[in-house]
């Protein structure tokens, strides 16, 4: 989330829709268009997809063979133009400058997709010896085809730290929270179709995720708040948003807490800047640690990333990378798990965390307005729980519920159509993930953060995150998910 | 908030922990640990399919 985006989230809205409302509208539109498959219509098959390549001319293609005539370049152009039109209209509805957004988004899309293309090069993406033999190559970084996310993130980091003026020009279209919220709404249907095949296991995972989150809220927040207040001497106004940002869910939680305790708007904004930077570090490190140490406990890894990585974008993105790495590692050892379960658990844990942000903000508002800064006119009302609920979650719930209902009621031919439709929607989910990764990178100007005097805040974050949050998250994930495995691929 | 303001503010003398803050930390942590143990036991008794 860019500084301007954070300020916009903390301030009254300028346009006639909120970012959450826009994310739900776009996500549901993609899902609805995909469902046209039930009527024998293929309305999204033109979306671009990139295969792992050694010959770049053969890498790009439309997702559906029905649109094969478009070719790779035609599909890429169509995807770009449709996204440009839809998101520019969305930016205008948010009250942003449409022209500036369109220009910046064009550059963002080109750079991000070029990164994805590069990440799909066989020397980066091929994982198994069989893959290497197939492509006729002697070495590979084994990043999987989702290594393109990391390439996009690194390119974004380079732009942020070495070309800050260009990063500033891109800023209008650097909206990672919008992109990831759209992706999460689309992801709801994908998770539903995946879960429908093993409903008992999926229900069990939901309950385990819920238990893990309650623990994380109660334990994380208290400890981080204590550390910030007693060890680092922060005031209550700084410590509460900081504790929420570090322990719960980054930007959304910091802003909700800032509002709940009636902090000055700039406090959660500065905390949020810090959250985004640390989220980048986590995305660059934790999926590989998960692959190295938790590949035999894939769902422990999934829940751990959901609990440890802050901001929705970074957490779900880390889950996506970890899924690719862990599935590839297991496949190399002869165990083929179904795709979707690791990412599904990470996303579900993160969505549950978001659901509780409103409840936690209400508890803090009640304590602050009644005991710490008593102000009868500003007393917290139960309505704050709804007001502070991130509404894009409703989109995730809707696509999940519709997807699950359809999956459970369809005969095999209908189920095949549904799977294909969700696959096409998933093509857009990949692109919105990619835009999220690149945007997070562009936001992460480490030098600027240091210059702004946030070193002390960063120290709390460092101590809390790497000294406590990550390890407690791992322990809780292990407690609730150890021994629970994704179904094997048939 | 200027950079100088922020630096000064972060260096300001610490506010003491109020009893209500101690209560919030204590209850939150205590409830979390108790629930962790309880739900952990339930989890052991009801293994995943």
Model pTM score: 0.78
Chain A residues in contact with B10 by the CB 8 A cut-off are 234, 238, 453, 456-457
Q: A97 to each of A87, A89, A101, how far by Cα in Å?
A: 12, 10, 6
| pLDDT tens for the 490 residues of chain A, in order | 555 555 555 454 556 788 889 999 999 999 999 999 877 889 999 999 999 999 999 999 999 999 999 999 999 999 999 999 999 999 999 999 999 999 999 999 999 999 999 999 999 888 777 788 889 998 888 777 778 888 998 899 899 989 999 999 999 999 988 998 898 899 888 888 877 877 777 877 777 888 878 877 889 899 999 999 999 888 999 899 999 888 877 777 887 788 788 788 778 877 877 887 788 888 889 999 999 999 999 999 999 999 888 877 788 888 988 998 999 999 888 899 998 899 989 988 888 887 777 788 888 888 888 888 776 666 667 777 677 677 888 898 899 999 999 988 888 888 888 988 998 998 998 899 899 889 988 987 777 766 666 778 888 888 888 888 889 899 999 988 898 899 998 7
Please report whether residue A255 resides in a domain.
yes
**Angle CA A458–A462–A467, to nearest 5:** 160
Strand, coil or helix: what is A337? strand
Q: Is residue A267 assigned to a domain?
A: yes
Rounded to a whole number, what is the distance in Å from the CA of A461 to chain B's nearest CA? 15
The two three-digit tokens of residue A307, written as one number: 């609990």
A331 Cβ contact list (under 8 Å, min separation 6) = A127, A128
How open is the CA angle A116-A121-A127, to the nearest 5 degrees? 105
pLDDT at residue A12 in the model: 46
Residue A20 lies in a domain: yes
How far is Cα A271 from Cα A250, in angstroms, rounded to an integer? 9
Map residue A455 onto helix, strand or coil: helix
B33 touches chain A (CB under 8 A): yes
Q: What angle do CA A237, A473, A156 make, to 5 degrees?
A: 70
A101 touches B at CB < 8 Å: no
- Per-residue model confidence (pLDDT) at position A282: 86
As a whole number of angstroms, the distance between CA A364 and CA B44 comes to 33
Phi, psi of A488 (to 5 degrees): -80, 145
Question: 10 Å Cβ neighbour count for B44?
Answer: 9
Distance from CA of B48 to the nearest CA of A (A): 6
Task: Decide the pairing of beta strands A48-50 and A60-62.
Answer: antiparallel
Angstrom distance (rounded) from CA A394 to CA A185: 8
SS3 A49: strand
The answer to whether residue A487 is domain-embedded is no
Distance from CA of B38 to the nearest CA of A (A): 10
- Tell me whether residue A121 is in a domain: yes
Q: At what angle do helices A298-308 and A312-332 cross, to 10 degrees?
A: 160
Considering the domain boundaries, does residue A489 fall inside one? no
Is A479 within 8 Å of B43 when comparing Cβ atoms?
yes
Residues of chain B positioned with their CB less than 8 A from the CB of A221? 28
What is the spatial distance between Cα A104 and Cα A109, in angstroms, rounded to a whole number? 9
Count CA atoms closer than 13 A to A456's CA, side-chain side. 18
* Cβ neighbours of A292 (radius 10 Å): 11
Pick from A455, A8, A65, A31: which is nearest to A251 by CA?
A: A8
Distance CA A488, CA B7 (A): 54
Domain range for A148: 3-481
Please name the residues between 117 and 176 in chain A that touch chain B, using a CB distance below 8 Å. Answer: none
SS3 A48: strand
How far apart, in Å, are the Cα atoms of A350 and each of A302, A358, B29?
A: 10, 14, 21
Can you tell me which residue has the tokens 């969505």?
Answer: A351
Report if residue A327 sits inside a domain.
yes
Residue A180: exposed, middle, or buried by beta-carbon count in 10 A (0-12, 13-18, 19+)? buried
Find the DSSP H helices in A309-370.
312-332, 341-367
With tokens 């889950």, the residue in question is A319
Q: Which residues of B touch A457 (CB under 8 A)?
A: 10
Structural element, H or E, at residue A251: helix A250-260
Instruction: Write the DSSP symbol of residue A50.
Output: E
Residue with tokens 């890498």: A59
Asked if the structure places residue A66 within a domain, the reply is: yes
C-alpha distance from B23 to closest chain A C-alpha (Å) = 10
Q: Are A221 and B28 in contact (CB under 8 A)?
A: yes
Is A448 within 8 Å of A233 (Cβ atoms)?
no
The token pair at A155 is 């390119």
**Residues 6 or more apart whose Cβ sits within 8 Å of residue A105:** A83, A84, A87, A88, A91, A172, A173
The CA distance from A384 to A303, in Å, is 28
Which pair of tokens denotes residue A410?
């369809």
Nearest 5°: CA angle at A47, between A41 and A53? 130
Residues in chain A: 490
**Which neighbouring-strand residues pair with A53?**
A121
Q: Give the relative orientation of helices A176-196 and A312-332 as an angle to the nearest 10 degrees.
A: 40
Asked if A367 lies within 8 A of B24 by C-beta distance, the reply is yes
Using a CB–CB cutoff of 8 Å, tell me whether A459 touches chain B. no
Number of domains composing chain A? 1
Calpha distance A70→A250 (Å, rounded): 41
Distance CA A475, CA B32 (A): 14
B contact test, residue of A207, A210, A214, A218 with most B CBs within 10 A = A218
């Amino acid at each position: 989330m860019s500084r301007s985006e954070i300020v916009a989230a903390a301030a009254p809205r300028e346009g006639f829709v909120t970012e959450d409302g826009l994310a739900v509208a776009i996500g549901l539109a993609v899902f609805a268009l995909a469902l046209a498959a039930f009527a024998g219509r293929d309305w999204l098959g033109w979306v671009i997809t990139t295969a792992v390549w050694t010959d770049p001319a053969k890498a790009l293609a439309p997702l559906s063979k029905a649109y094969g005539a478009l070719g790779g370049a035609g599909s890429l152009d169509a995807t770009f133009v449709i996204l440009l039109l839809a998101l520019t209209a969305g930016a205008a509805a948010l009250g942003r400058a449409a022209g500036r957004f369109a220009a910046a988004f064009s550059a963002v899309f080109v750079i991000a997709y070029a990164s994805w293309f590069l990440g799909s090069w066989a020397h980066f993406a091929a994982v198994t010896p069989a893959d290497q033999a197939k492509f006729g190559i002697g070495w590979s970084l084994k990043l999987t085809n989702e290594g393109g996310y990391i390439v996009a993130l690194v390119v974004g980091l380079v732009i942020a730290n070495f070309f800050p003026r260009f990063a500033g020009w891109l800023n209008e279209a650097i909206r990672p929270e919008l992109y990831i919220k759209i992706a999460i709404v689309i992801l709801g249907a994908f998770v539903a179709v995946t879960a429908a095949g093993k409903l008992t296991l999926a229900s069990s995972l939901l309950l385990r995720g819920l238990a893990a989150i309650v623990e994380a809220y109660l334990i994380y927040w208290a400890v981080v708040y204590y550390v910030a207040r007693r060890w680092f001497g922060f005031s209550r106004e700084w410590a509460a948003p900081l504790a929420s940002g570090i322990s719960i869910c980054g930007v959304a939680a910091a802003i909700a807490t800032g509002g709940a305790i009636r902090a000055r708007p700039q406090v959660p904004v500065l905390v949020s800047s810090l959250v985004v930077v640390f989220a980048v570090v986590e995305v660059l490190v934790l999926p590989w640690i998960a692959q190295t140490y938790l590949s035999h406990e894939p769902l422990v890894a999934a829940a751990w990333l959901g609990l440890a990585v802050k901001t929705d974008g970074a957490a779900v993105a880390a889950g996506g990378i970890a899924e690719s790495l862990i599935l590839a590692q297991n496949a190399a050892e002869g165990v083929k798990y179904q795709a979707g379960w690791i990412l599904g658990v990470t996303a579900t844990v993160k969505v549950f965390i978001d659901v509780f942000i409103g409840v936690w903000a209400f508890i803090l508002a009640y304590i602050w307005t009644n005991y710490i800064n008593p102000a009868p006119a500003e007393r917290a009302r139960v309505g704050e729980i709804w007001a502070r609920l991130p509404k894009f979650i409703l989109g995730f719930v809707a696509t999940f519920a519709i997807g699950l209902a359809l999956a459970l009621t369809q005969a095999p031919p209908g189920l095949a159509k549904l799977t294909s439709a969700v696959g096409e929607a998933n093509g857009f989910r990949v692109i919105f993930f990619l835009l999220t990764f690149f945007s997070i990178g562009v936001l992460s100007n480490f030098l600027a953060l240091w210059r702004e005097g946030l070193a002390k805040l960063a120290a709390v974050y460092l101590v809390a995150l790497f000294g406590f949050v990550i390890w407690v998250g791992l322990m809780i994930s292990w407690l609730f998910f150890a021994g629970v495995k994704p179904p094997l691929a048939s | 908030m200027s950079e100088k303001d922020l630096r000064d503010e972060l260096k300001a003398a610490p506010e003491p922990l109020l009893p209500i803050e101690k209560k919030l930390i204590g209850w939150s942590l205590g409830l979390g640990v108790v629930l962790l143990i309880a739900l952990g036991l339930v989890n052991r008794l009801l293994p995943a399919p």
